[in-house]
Amino acid sequence: EDQVTQSPEALRLQEGESSSLNCSYTVSGLRGLFWYRQDPGKGPEFLFTLYSAGEEKEKERLKATLTKKESFLHITAPKPEDSATYLCAVENGGFKTIFGAGTRLFVKA
């Protein structure tokens, strides 16, 4: 069964304290792995797509990496405005999308 597991469930950081979020997955025929950001009361907002192991993508303070079993979302020198829930998702060979439960990130000034 296709599955996505994110850790930790919640992460509290001080402003400027870099860290990483983990997304472990098992999927039949990975078509893509996605990272989304979700703010309270809003829909998920697309951040990155990774297609194959070894791929990396960056956007401002965020960097996403992919291996055959997991993905990391690295946050460098976070700011309070980076506080949100970060969701990982995979699309399998049947074009079905499976989301993880998310990591709630809190960044304190």
Partner 1 sequence: DAGVIQSPRHEVTEMGQEVTLRCKPISGHNSLFWYRQTMMRGLELLIYFNNNVPIDDSGMPEDRFSAKMPNASFSTLKIQPSEPRDSAVYFCASSSRDGTYEQYFGPGTRLTVT
CB of 64 to partner 1, least distance (A): 12
Residue 52: which region, alpha, beta or left (left: phi > 0; alpha: psi -120 to 50)?
A: beta
CB of 78 to partner 1, least distance (A): 23
Choice between 15 and 58, CB closer to partner 1? 58
CB of 90 to partner 1, least distance (A): 10
Cβ 75 vs Cβ 35: under 8 Å: no
Choice between 61 and 104, CB closer to partner 1? 104
For 23, 40, 41, 108, the CA distances from 64, given in Å and listed in that order, are 10, 22, 25, 22
Choice between 31 and 63, CB closer to partner 1? 31
